[in-house]
């Protein structure tokens, strides 16, 4: 009887663990170039990844992204960019990153993917002011350092001034992302299978 209870509890715990875990990351600074053809980031520093924080004055690596073309709204007032042709890449560097890909030297690709679906571009400051702020957000999908495909989200807070925006120049104040643990459905199926095994085991005990 005890084995049946243990198997059933394990079956329920597996899918819950899949949702509980995840990888958080933050980035700061860097610039973007922006136009009707899309947005491209330059030099945003990876500030934290999966519980590891960069020391003051340094970074763990870099975060870069590109979007597709503007498909609705305006650059100045806010709108939506396409995910077609987009990228989203997180790169680690330094001794701490070696743990993600053995003893590889140099840079390590921690996540490589792209946006999925529309990318929101929202004006968060009052319209018409000189100092402008925007928020770029969207869903991303790609491959982790271990070869597993995951989904996630990102939000990038961006600032600029009116003359710079007219020239397609803006700057990343800070950003954050969350990469979910993959395949919760697969773990759920595994849990269901364990429940079935537990039931079979119990029937054998009753018959004996």
pTM over 0.85: no
> What does the pLDDT read at residue 102?
63
Could you report the per-residue pLDDT of 71-92, keeping only the tens digit for each? 999 999 999 999 999 999 999 9
CB 175 within 8 A of CB 157: yes
Could you report the per-residue pLDDT of 174-192, keeping only the tens digit for each? 999 999 966 544 444 444 4
β-sheet bridge partners, residue 91 = 62, 109
How does residue 55 score in pLDDT terms, banded at 50, 70 and 90? Answer: very high
Residue among 76, 44, 66 at smallest CA distance from 164: 76
């Amino acid at each position: 009887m005890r084995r049946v209870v243990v198997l059933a509890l394990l079956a329920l715990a597996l899918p819950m663990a899949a949702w509980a875990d995840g990888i958080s990351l933050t980035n700061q600074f860097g610039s973007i170039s922006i136009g009707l053809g899309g947005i491209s980031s330059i030099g945003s520093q990876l500030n934290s990844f999966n519980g590891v924080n960069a020391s003051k004055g340094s970074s763990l690596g870099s975060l870069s992204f590109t979007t597709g073309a503007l498909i609705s709204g305006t650059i100045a007032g806010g709108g939506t960019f396409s995910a077609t042709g987009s990228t989203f890449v997180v790169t680690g560097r330094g001794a701490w990153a070696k743990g993600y890909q053995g003893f590889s030297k140099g840079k390590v690709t921690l996540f490589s993917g792209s946006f999925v679906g529309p990318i929101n571009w929202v004006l968060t400051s009052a319209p018409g002011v000189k100092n402008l702020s925007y928020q770029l957000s969207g869903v991303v999908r790609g491959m982790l350092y271990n070869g597993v495909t995951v989904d996630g989200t990102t939000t990038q807070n961006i600032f600029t001034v009116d003359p710079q925006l007219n020239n397609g120049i803006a700057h990343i104040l800070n950003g954050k992302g969350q990469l979910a643990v993959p395949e919760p459905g697969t773990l759920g199926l595994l849990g269901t299978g364990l429940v079935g095994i537990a039931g079979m085991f119990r029937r054998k005990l009753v018959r004996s």
